[in-house]
Amino acid sequence: MQGKRILLGVTGSISAYKTAHLTRLLVKAGAEVQVVMTEAATTFITPLTLSTLSKRPVLTTFVKDETGQWNNHVDLGLWADALLIAPASANTIARCAQGLCNDLLSAVYLSARCPVFFAPAMDLDMYKHPATLGNLAKLRAYGNHIIEAEYGELASGLVGEGRLAEPETIVQTLDRHFSLRPAMAGKRVLITAGPTQEPIDPVRYISNHSTGKMGYAIADAFAKAGAHVTLVSGPTALSVPDSTICRIDVRSAAEMFGAMQQAFPESDIVILNAAVADYTPAHPADQKIKKKDALFDLELTKTTDIAATLGSQKRSGQLMMGFALETENERQNALKKLHAKNLDWIVLNSLRDQGAGFGHDTNKITVIDKHEAVYEFSLKSKEAVARDLLQLVERVL
């Protein structure tokens, strides 16, 4: 924490009284603390208290004084090494999740380029309300960190989850964040994403419904964890989520295989998420095929099985993760692929699970490792799924 610049956002919650102790702990740990308060927060604890403890004027509004000087939310967002919103009220969580921007703190949040930590504090029923849970899920999907509320007696007299995490816990969370070396630093990760398109003629092709969202989310998660990511992508409408990702665009299964063969030997981790065609037209036409007969026969030939081929070439220390999208006998089919293709993990999707599979922003997965240990996950955003997969790889490393 020594020398770290912390923006402490304080919102309208009875737990705001704890921010005096929190500010003191942050300063004692060597951090520079700039407090930003909402108007509601000032009714629970005075700006004078936090200004005295932080040794900086507390900011509450955009305008400093009648001369036209103002508190620049963009500069504040660039200044900070971390933005900590504690306590984060249900109202502030909702506004940040929706991108609303009607006070200085929410403007700073939208301007921040640093990691953002939310420490919720509210009554039990508010904390468990579907709206709040949905907003917290959105904030996680945006890449923010949530310091979970704790269980205990609440201001209402109820007992349950909703208490602001203790100041010591919050400081420990920040300290761990700054002391950790990125989990994937120095690792070379090769990822496939999207569909392939197999040409019938210059106009038509065979493809599938893959959008690439899952593969791009995985690439983003590993890049943010410090990895050198190469993304071999079939045709999608997506942009690379992180500027450090090296993207290689391909169209057909043969092109994807060629790109993978070239990058595979130098890769530490290979994640095969693309929906690669199993068959391709044996004799694609040079010119557009004209509509003539009522029936049209199309001869298909098998494409190269990328996962099986790379799995047979896998060197000691390389890790491979494959995906299996199934509609029946899901577990048995996934296990068969896991062992036949020499994978370390197989990620199973079932099209029978609502909200999973192609075209959704959510996914529901079951992961089986090479020892046949099973990890089941609930339906969540594809960004959250990508972080779950990252954590599985981190455990092995």
Query: Can you read off the two tokens belonging to residue 128?
Result: 């468990």
Amino acid, res. 76: L
Contacts of the segment 367-370: beta carbons below 8 A, 24+ positions apart: 367/392, 368/331, 368/334, 368/335, 368/338, 369/344, 369/345, 370/338, 370/339, 370/343, 370/344, 370/345
Q: How far apart are CA 161 and CA 163, in angstroms?
A: 6
Alpha-carbon span 45 to 380, nearest angstrom: 37
**DSSP string computed for 34-53:** EEEE-TGGGGTS-HHHHHHH
Q: How far apart are CA 111 and CA 379, in angstroms?
A: 30
**What is the rounded (10 degree) CA torsion for 285, 291, 295, 298?**
10
Which has the closest alpha carbon to 247: 230, 263, 259?
230
The partner residues of 150 in beta bridges, in order of sequence, read 163
Residues pairing with 347 in the sheet: 323, 367
Q: 131, 148 in Cβ contact below 8 A? A: no
**Is 382 a known ligand-binding residue?**
no
Nearest to 249 by CA among 287, 288, 186, 196: 196
Annotated binding residue at 336? no
- Among this protein's residues, is 363 annotated catalytic? no
Please identify which of the residues 208, 333, 342, 363 carries the catalytic annotation: 208
Q: Residue written as tokens 């420990």?
A: 172
What is the chain's alpha carbon radius of gyration, rounded to the nearest angstrom?
25
Q: Do the annotations mark residue 268 as ligand-binding? A: no
The residue whose two tokens read 């509609």 is 327
Task: Check the annotation: does 380 bind a ligand.
Answer: no
- Asked if residue 242 belongs to a known ligand binding site, the reply is no
**CA-CA-CA-CA torsion sign (220, 222, 227, 230):** negative
d(CA 28, CA 54): 10
Binding residue numbers? 278, 288, 323, 337, 341
Binding residue numbers for CTP? 278, 288, 323, 337, 341
> Which residues are known to be catalytic?
208
